[in-house]
Structure 1
Amino acid sequence: MIVPAYNAMPELTECITSAMEQTIGLDQLEIIAVNDGSTDGTGEELDRLAAMCPSLRVVHQENSGTAAVPRNVALDMASGEYVFFLDSDDYLGPDALRRMVAMADENKTDIVLGKMVSVGGRAVPTAVFRSTQPRTDIFSSAAYRTLGCWKLFRRSLLERLNLRFPPFRNTEDKPFTAAAYLNADGVSVVADYDCYYQRDRANGNNLTLTAQNLSHRMKGTRLCFETVARYLEPGPKRDQIMRRHVEWELCGPLWWLLLRESEEDIRERLYPEIRDWVENWVTDPIIEKLVARDRLLLHLLRADRFDDVITVIRNAEEDAERGHVVDGGRVYWDHPLFRDSAVGVPDSAFDVTDRLPVHHRVESADWAKSGVLRLTGHAHIENVASLDPATELVLRCYDAGHPEVRVPARVHAVAGLPDDERYANAGFVADIPLPTAAADSPLGHGRWNLFLDVRAQGVSRTVRLKSPEAERMPSQEIVTLSPGKPTTITPYVTKWGNLSLDVGQEVPRDDTPWQVTEMSWHRSRKGTLVVAGTLTGDGPQELGALRLRVENGRGARREARASVGRTGGGFAAELPVKGLSPGRYAVTLPMSGPFPVTAVPYLTGMGRTLWFHHARPYTARPVKEASGTTLVVEVRAVDVPRAARRKLREVVRKVRG
């Protein structure tokens, strides 16, 4: 672990102590702290702590003015398999390093991000820590959005690249982390434990806060662009990564730092450099994905309109409050430079259509009649008056391959909304006729997410439908979607508060010549489902080939033939679920002959089964809430570290109890 320290008291003590108390153990840890010419007792405190901890090595040197130099000094001394950078004003959760090292070891990844926590309001990244990711990369995760060096790095990666921090006062860690990301063999994210606590110093002398001029960032920003260009060929992947630097290292600082510099420095030194970045690294696909004010700024820089750049930055706050223009089904920011022929900025720079929020509320959801679900509420696009409204309900099945279904809504006047006159026609009523909704065909089996396509003045915006305002949700209904096939329809609310529909399996017929009486997991053959029952017909010869089947919404299926008792008293079937891909599977009893496929009902008392497939543990268990009429079995891969932690917590609770 590497800790650069300059005038870091009193936070330093907690920082180093948090490193010394890591559960990974001091025998597995070397701590290298570099005192960068401190004058506040930092050096003496490091020596005191080192006298108590043989794993702590302290280096004293003259002040370098940057955290880069002491980090590099320590990096040259490091000998461990991994390197972690800890700033002297921050501290770690006790189990942070053990978890991160275990994650890297288990998944063979070169970089591990541990969840960061804000102390005292300091901004920390959050998007990447929404879920734990054992192995990912910078193109399919939000990892690249955090370029601070407070991460676990495999040291062989840093040495292979001969990677060291550039000696800049600000932005010194971003090109370092960028180069590591761009060459890493996998990235892991630990999001289920608070690993790194980040805070501002009580005396306010963090380098991030004291080196705030744009001039402090110029070298680091250029090196970020050059690093990405060095390791990625031109194309979509480079644009994806470059966009982060265009937004955060180029446009962001221009809006709030450029005018702090002298006009001479801006015109003679900073502006030419910034234009060079735009010419070399900012492509059209990058610009298209940015917010309107950044698109405008970059177009002006491309056109070398220095005075206009200064003007739009100076007037940014006032211009942000300007209205919008609706034209040809698009909405534009009504900026003073919009369609100014002398400036020549394209309309696309002012287009805000795809970023306008949709405000909506579902006031009721209920069954209007059998098979018809009725939704009422209101919806409007912000800053677009509800003239010529044409709202549609959109249904998209996310666990089966059914095509999208659109249901036109009836729009009507509604009162009581903000800016009432503009959004007077925002009300809607939508009826979903489940037996005919899919182009006069029944809605297919699966789980359907509901959306609203809100339209006004030719402008269209689609939004996920929220749950009803009323506490009562519509009850589960049994609907005949096609002749002789009653099916369960279950409205439900997702964990994000959105409204969805579960179009379930067909309901068992009362005239089937059997009854399921037992469900269990085979005692010796792990991962094998056993279903048994009694026969109610005149004999087994009437049943034909009775089978036990499991099937998911994507069409994956496995089945086994049932054995029927010779005396006609019962049947039993054994079906292995071992080897099925993870997911949820409905359990049914199909057969040949005049009887339809019928569902196996959910019976209480059935637990889970555990088996190993390719040396990895898997489980299967019934999901009671998945359907009111059908047994649904969920197959899952076991998260071994999480299961072990849960077991340990149970043991601890028993001991303490």
Structure 2
Amino acid sequence: MPGPDVTVIIAAYNAMPYVTGSVTSVLDQSLGADRIELIAVDDGSTDGTAEELDRLAERAPLMHVIHQPNSGGPAGPRNLGLDRAAGRYVYFLDADDRIGPEALERMVAAADENGSDVVLGRIVGEGGRRAPRSMFKRDQPRTDVFSSRVYWTLNPMKLFRRELIDRLRLRFDTGLSIGEDQPFVATAYLEAAAISVVADYDCLYWVAREDGNNITAQEHGTRMRMDLFRTMAELVADRVPAGPDRDALMHRHFAVELRDAVLQLSREPRRDVQEKLLHELADLVALYWTDGLAARLPAVVRLRCHLIGRALLDELLTLVHWELDRGAASYGITTLAATATTLPEIQVEGGRAYALYPYFRDSTLNIPDDCYDLTAELGVRHRVDSAVLDATRLRLTGHAYIHRIATRDVTTELVLRKRGTDTERRLAVRHTPAPGIDKDSDLHDYSAAGYEAAIELAPLTAGLWDISLAVGAQGIVKEARLGSGRAEAVTTATTMLVTDEGTAVALYTTKPYGNLTLDVGETRHRVTPRLRVTGAQWSTETPATLVVNGRCTLNGWPLGALTVRAKGAEGVERAVPVEPSSAKGAFTAQVPCATAGEWELTLRLAVEGKEWSVPVPAQPSLKPARWRRFGMPWYAKPLAGRDVLTLRVGRVELLKAARARLKRR
């Protein structure tokens, strides 16, 4: 008998009443109770958690409860659960959280389909608990730590392939009092054949406990935070060669674990202890500091590291309290101040933006301006309000501005880049008013952020042209691809047309971000699939007339260029213009068939020597037609065995017809 698909491990300590919802969310999974093994380890609870787990296990044959004395943290109970796990996959769940009804089914499907060793399911916070979001912007069937944001969530509430855990002999570090999950998860990430992200479903609900006893909410001493920072920095340095990849992972630990260590340092009651620990931190920072890492870090982290490196304790403490006063928050649940986050004021100078953190250009400290330069951190906010493609140009309107930089001395340009080449075209835009476009507009003047732009199609050579804005204000220029932000009226459906010069042009949105791109010359979007004949039958009103029905889903073409063509011998042609009669491009063409000969029928679009055509398909149910002309009988009949509808038209030879009737008798 095959074993379970998933073993869910819950380490529980004094988790009432939350543990009931946690366990129930596992037992009620759509994956099916027979495919789930649940191991709950009671870590010496004294609040009724142990009894509640035993009660819940009575109705769940595949739920196993293990009781042990308190171990002081979740690492030991999780390891014990791993020792007993029988599932193909393992999922860790905290006793105060719960999972969505389809979570395990979706994550197992993602792992099986993509051969993934780790699967992240989207996390949402409840009761004010902050959850990581940056890695859940879209589904990612196969990714890794270097091409995605998954490394920024190192909690263990993920699906792990047990074969990977067993092969690596992974266990949680019982020597760490905080962050014991990080080495486990980071190692699994780095050794995984693939990582999947399920972002279109709420898989895990992070619940904020009313008693504040979530483990991430509890204070831990500076030494514990420093141990975690040291452990993770050593792990990354040991497994990832020096260079951009290592810097990318170190970024997380310098921005989060080092920050939390400094926060705890500020709470140490003794000055001598603070000074001793600060010097240890300085040695750690120096050990892993590189120019590449510095370039990735936000300005406030560079400033923090500069103060640590120079052992400027008072200045470092001032920075910590400055951040706390403005509502800085640590990773997870811990909120460091009750007020909302207040961003620093900015000074723009020489095309750079400097945050006015403490000690900016203090002549006694001479801290480098680079520790305050947040130009790279500024984001562009933008929206496309209209995108209209016609036979000659693409017209765009909308707004764009650099967040926190007033729209003075605006120099925004529209940028076209031909994909796969160095070809670039820059076009001026017309600046227009855009009042009240941002909730921060009372702090920063964005009233000149509107734009109007026109892209002439004729100069564009064949290829894919990506559309961006180089948004400029006060000498600062930031570039952003257009389209991901758009008004509801701006459709994501592909618009395609053929110009008067015979060039096929399509405006479409890329996946998954929805950015705008022009396809010139059918690089990716073809004309012929938009030409279709749906049927043909003889007219009931007009003799010798074939009624051809079809659809053209192009959004535009030159007048008279679309025809139903009847091609005869020696290049003789008859063409009937087609004009759709509905917004969906449906048409009906009346094709006269009164001229003797064999005629092959196609739907054709011809412009300036360029031609696209699709055949009128053979119509098995189409019978021969007969009519009289000047008193003489004529006929038109489809020829058998042809893929293209071909009609033979001619006058009935009376003698031959009479002989045929006699033979039939």
- The answer to whether TM tops 0.5 is yes
- Deviation track 1:367-403 (CA, whole Å, cap 9, x = no partner) reads 9x973555566655455555554331223456x8683
Aligned equivalent of 1:451, options 468, 486, 502:
468
Q: Which residue of 1 aligns with 2:424?
A: 404
Name the CA distance, whole Å, in 1 between partners of 2:89 and 2:496.
57
Compare 50-59 and 265-274 and name the one that shifted more.
Answer: 265-274
- Cα deviation for residue 39 of structure 1 reads 0.9
Q: Which residue of 2 aligns with 1:106?
A: 113
The within-5 A match list for 1:1-400 is 1-167=8-174, 168-252=176-260, 254=262, 256-264=263-271, 266-316=273-323, 323-340=345-362, 342-358=364-380, 371-373=392-394, 375=396, 380-382=401-403, 384=405, 388-396=409-417
- Deviation track 1:602-626 (CA, whole Å, cap 9, x = no partner) reads 99xxxxxxxxxxxxxxxxxxxxxxx
Aligned residues of 1:378 and 1:427 also touching (Cα < 8 A) = yes
The structure-2 alpha-carbon separation of the partners of 1:208 and 1:472, relative to structure 1 and needing over 3 Å to count, comes to closer
Name the CA distance, whole Å, in 1 between partners of 2:434 and 2:17.
60
Name the CA distance, whole Å, in 2 between partners of 1:434 and 1:345.
51
Aligned residues of 2:16 and 2:49 also touching (Cα < 8 A) = yes
Aligned residues of 2:243 and 2:292 also touching (Cα < 8 A) = no
- Deviation track 1:257-295 (CA, whole Å, cap 9, x = no partner) reads 432222436524432332232112232212212221111
The structure-2 alpha-carbon separation of the partners of 1:24 and 1:396, relative to structure 1 and needing over 3 Å to count, comes to same
The structure-2 alpha-carbon separation of the partners of 1:98 and 1:273, relative to structure 1 and needing over 3 Å to count, comes to same
Say yes or no: does 1:597 pair with 2:611. Answer: yes
The structure-2 alpha-carbon separation of the partners of 1:360 and 1:160, relative to structure 1 and needing over 3 Å to count, comes to closer
Q: Which residue of 2 aligns with 1:635?
A: none
The number of residue pairs the alignment matches comes to: 534
Aligned residues of 2:226 and 2:258 also touching (Cα < 8 A) = no
Residue 455 of structure 2 aligns to which amino acid in structure 1?
I
Aligned residues of 1:175 and 1:220 also touching (Cα < 8 A) = no
Name the CA distance, whole Å, in 2 between partners of 1:50 and 1:81.
22
The structure-2 alpha-carbon separation of the partners of 1:345 and 1:70, relative to structure 1 and needing over 3 Å to count, comes to same
Name the CA distance, whole Å, in 1 between partners of 2:81 and 2:512.
46
Name the CA distance, whole Å, in 1 between partners of 2:616 and 2:509.
19
- Cα deviation for residue 595 of structure 1 reads 4.1
> 3-state SS of the aligned residue for 2:206?
strand
- Cα deviation for residue 6 of structure 1 reads 0.9
The within-5 A match list for 1:626-637 is none
Name the CA distance, whole Å, in 2 between partners of 1:165 and 1:158.
11
Aligned equivalent of 2:600, options 542, 566, 570:
570
Aligned residues of 2:12 and 2:95 also touching (Cα < 8 A) = yes
Question: What is the Cα-based RMSD across aligned positions, in Å?
Answer: 4.3
- Cα deviation for residue 148 of structure 1 reads 0.6
- Cα deviation for residue 173 of structure 1 reads 0.9
Residue 65 of structure 1 aligns to which amino acid in structure 2?
G
> 3-state SS of the aligned residue for 1:131?
coil
The within-5 A match list for 1:425-464 is 429-435=452-458, 441-442=459-460, 444=462, 446=464, 448-464=465-481
- Deviation track 1:405-441 (CA, whole Å, cap 9, x = no partner) reads 2112355889889579977866655443332xxxxx2
The structure-2 alpha-carbon separation of the partners of 1:17 and 1:478, relative to structure 1 and needing over 3 Å to count, comes to closer
The structure-2 alpha-carbon separation of the partners of 1:571 and 1:28, relative to structure 1 and needing over 3 Å to count, comes to same
Name the CA distance, whole Å, in 1 between partners of 2:120 and 2:252.
18
Name the CA distance, whole Å, in 1 between partners of 2:152 and 2:435.
43
Overall identity of the aligned pairs, in %: 42
Q: TM-score, normalised by structure 2?
A: 0.69
Aligned residues of 2:116 and 2:142 also touching (Cα < 8 A) = yes
Aligned residues of 1:434 and 1:442 also touching (Cα < 8 A) = yes
Aligned residues of 1:490 and 1:504 also touching (Cα < 8 A) = no
Q: Which residue of 2 aligns with 1:624?
A: none
Name the CA distance, whole Å, in 1 between partners of 2:208 and 2:317.
32
Aligned residues of 2:99 and 2:203 also touching (Cα < 8 A) = yes
Name the CA distance, whole Å, in 1 between partners of 2:95 and 2:231.
25
- Cα deviation for residue 98 of structure 1 reads 3.5
Aligned residues of 1:364 and 1:470 also touching (Cα < 8 A) = no
Name the CA distance, whole Å, in 1 between partners of 2:616 and 2:566.
20
Gaps of 5+ in 2: 1-7, 327-341, 524-530, 537-562, 574-595, 618-665
> 3-state SS of the aligned residue for 2:94?
coil
- Deviation track 1:499-528 (CA, whole Å, cap 9, x = no partner) reads 66565769xxxxxxxx974599xxxxxxxx
Q: TM-score, normalised by structure 1?
A: 0.69
- Deviation track 1:41-87 (CA, whole Å, cap 9, x = no partner) reads 11222222333333222222111221111112222233333222121
Residue 111 of structure 2 aligns to which amino acid in structure 1?
A
> 3-state SS of the aligned residue for 1:66?
coil
- Cα deviation for residue 4 of structure 1 reads 1.0
Compare 423-432 and 5-14 and name the one that shifted more.
Answer: 423-432
Residue 392 of structure 2 aligns to which amino acid in structure 1?
G
Name the CA distance, whole Å, in 1 between partners of 2:244 and 2:394.
43
The structure-2 alpha-carbon separation of the partners of 1:185 and 1:312, relative to structure 1 and needing over 3 Å to count, comes to same
Compare 318-327 and 90-99 and name the one that shifted more.
Answer: 318-327
Aligned residues of 1:375 and 1:429 also touching (Cα < 8 A) = yes
- Cα deviation for residue 177 of structure 1 reads 1.0
- Deviation track 1:300-355 (CA, whole Å, cap 9, x = no partner) reads 22233333222222333679765433333222224453344543433222222233
Aligned residues of 1:246 and 1:282 also touching (Cα < 8 A) = no
The structure-2 alpha-carbon separation of the partners of 1:600 and 1:285, relative to structure 1 and needing over 3 Å to count, comes to farther
Residue 429 of structure 2 aligns to which amino acid in structure 1?
A
Aligned residues of 2:433 and 2:447 also touching (Cα < 8 A) = yes
Name the CA distance, whole Å, in 1 between partners of 2:322 and 2:32.
56
Q: Which residue of 2 aligns with 1:525?
A: none
Name the CA distance, whole Å, in 2 between partners of 1:235 and 1:493.
31
- Cα deviation for residue 195 of structure 1 reads 2.7
- Cα deviation for residue 36 of structure 1 reads 1.0
Aligned residues of 2:432 and 2:448 also touching (Cα < 8 A) = yes
Aligned residues of 1:516 and 1:534 also touching (Cα < 8 A) = no
Aligned residues of 1:9 and 1:42 also touching (Cα < 8 A) = yes
> 3-state SS of the aligned residue for 1:310?
helix
> 3-state SS of the aligned residue for 1:569?
strand
Aligned residues of 1:540 and 1:568 also touching (Cα < 8 A) = no
Name the CA distance, whole Å, in 2 between partners of 1:286 and 1:193.
34
- Deviation track 1:452-490 (CA, whole Å, cap 9, x = no partner) reads 2233443222234467879699x9897856xx4265676
